[in-house]
């Protein structure tokens, strides 16, 4: 079937979302029409999800602004707005510290930048390869050109260019029931390294990376003159962090190295609000999970005993009622802590 032909009733425009999602109608359509899958994929390039409502930016410091995502997880209602977007207004232009969760969210961020300054966006930094932090790249290259520098660590670039990138795009579409449709994977085009400093006239941004924490390639970005450091998902304010790709021990080491290198800062997370005590507060919570697991391994106690000890720990119990994603994720991350404790013990 060519693009000029009328699609069969099963896969007309109103059904493309269901076709992409694997409905019964889609299954029939794909079986009956060999190029229906290609047709649906091509359709995504010109079908876009709805506009995301504006979220007015909050000023964190003289140069740093935050578009705050109140929700910690993507839904159809929030259209995928689950991660903070941070921008820095410099003499040379605007610098993005993560670009958002979709094309539509990136477009909203650009509208919000325009309420603060008419300076162009001159650089984007992606903190790591989880898609809620970089899928907005698409909006920025649309607005400022394909040559716009988008910076990331080498491992982050590799992951986004591979299955991680396409996987995150698909998952966001599914989680939001199609609200992020139209978003394309835009891979960072510049490789950066730990300790690099970027000079934007009146503003320097220093990069920090201290090994595996939330992921193997977490980039923290220090706005030197304002004493504000955006830490991405290394620490979170009121959300339990995904640590499937990370390490508890590595996180503690990362915090110690970052604090030693940067000194006193306002720490700005990828999820939640900024705080001068963020690393300590979230570090205490992480220790409340990991340390009882270490003790359980030393005592030869099973994982169930470790779980009970973690849930009793005041550093964890005090967060259980109000932390986003606690109930659905705490069991998994206790298991990961126990497995890491076993590995460290041997």
pLDDT tens for 83-114 read 999 999 999 999 999 999 999 999 999 999 99
Say how many C-beta atoms besides its own lie within 10 A of residue 120's C-beta: 13
State how beta strands 190-192 and 150-153 pair.
Answer: parallel
Burial track 284-297 (b if 16+ CB lie within 10 A, e otherwise): bbbbbbbbbbbebb
Say yes or no to pLDDT of 35 above 60: no
Asked if 299 and 267 sit in the same domain, the reply is no
Cα–Cα distance, 340 to 331 (Å, whole number): 14
Cα–Cα distance, 142 to 213 (Å, whole number): 32
Say how many C-beta atoms besides its own lie within 10 A of residue 266's C-beta: 18
Asked if 103 and 208 sit in the same domain, the reply is yes
Please state at what angle helix 278-299 crosses helix 326-345, rounded to 10 degrees. 60
Residue 102 forms part of a structural domain: yes
Residue 241 confidence (pLDDT)? 84
Residue 239 forms part of a structural domain: no
Residue 52 forms part of a structural domain: no
Asked if 94 and 126 sit in the same domain, the reply is yes
CATH number (domain holding residue 204): 3.60.15.10
Q: How many domains does the chain have?
A: 3
Residue 112 forms part of a structural domain: yes
Q: Is the pTM of this model over 0.85?
A: yes
Asked if 292 and 147 sit in the same domain, the reply is no
Cα–Cα distance, 140 to 151 (Å, whole number): 13
Confidence of residue 47 (pLDDT cuts 50, 70, 90): confident
Cα–Cα distance, 138 to 218 (Å, whole number): 21
Strand order in the sheet with 64-67: 58-59, 64-67, 85-89, 94-97, 121-125, 150-153, 190-192
Residue 339 forms part of a structural domain: yes
Residue 4 forms part of a structural domain: no
Q: Answer for the pair 90, 203: CB distance below 8 angstroms, yes or no.
A: yes
The mean pLDDT of 14-21, rounded to a whole number, is: 41
Residue 3 forms part of a structural domain: no
């Amino acid at each position: 079937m060519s693009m000029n032909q009328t699609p069969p009733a099963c896969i007309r425009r109103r059904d493309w979302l269901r076709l992409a999602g694997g409905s019964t109608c889609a299954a029939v359509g794909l079986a009956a029409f060999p190029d229906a899958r290609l047709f649906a994929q091509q359709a995504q390039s010109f079908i876009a999800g709805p506009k995301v409502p504006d979220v007015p930016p909050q000023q964190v410091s003289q140069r740093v602004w935050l578009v705050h995502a109140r929700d910690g997880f993507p839904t159809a209602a929030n259209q995928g707005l689950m991660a903070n977007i941070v921008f820095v207004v410099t003499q040379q232009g605007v610098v993005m510290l993560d670009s958002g969760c979709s094309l539509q969210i990136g477009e909203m961020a650009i509208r919000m930048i325009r309420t603060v300054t008419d300076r162009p966006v001159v650089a984007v930094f992606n903190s790591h390869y989880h898609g809620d932090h970089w899928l907005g790249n698409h909006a920025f290259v649309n607005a400022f050109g394909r040559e716009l520098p988008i910076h990331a660590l080498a491992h982050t670039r590799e992951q986004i260019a591979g299955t991680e990138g396409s996987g995150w795009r698909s998952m966001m579409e599914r989680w939001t029931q199609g609200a992020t449709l139209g978003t394309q994977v835009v891979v960072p085009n510049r490789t950066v390294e730990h300790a690099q400093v970027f000079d934007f006239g009146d503003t320097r941004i220093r990069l920090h990376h201290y090994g595996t924490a939330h992921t193997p390639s977490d980039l923290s970005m220090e706005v030197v003159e304002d004493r504000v450091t955006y830490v991405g998902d290394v620490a979170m304010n009121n959300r339990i962090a995904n640590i499937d790709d990370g390490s508890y021990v590595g996180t503690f080491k990362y915090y110690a190295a970052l604090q030693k290198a940067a000194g006193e800062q306002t720490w700005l997370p990828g999820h939640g609000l900024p705080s001068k005590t963020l690393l300590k507060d979230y570090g205490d919570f992480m220790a409340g999970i990991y340390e009882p697991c270490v003790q359980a391994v030393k005592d030869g106690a099973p994982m169930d005993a470790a779980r009970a000890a973690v849930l009793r720990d005041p550093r964890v119990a005090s967060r259980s009622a109000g932390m986003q994603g606690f109930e659905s994720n705490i069991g998994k991350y206790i298991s990961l802590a126990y497995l890491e404790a076993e590995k460290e013990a041997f």
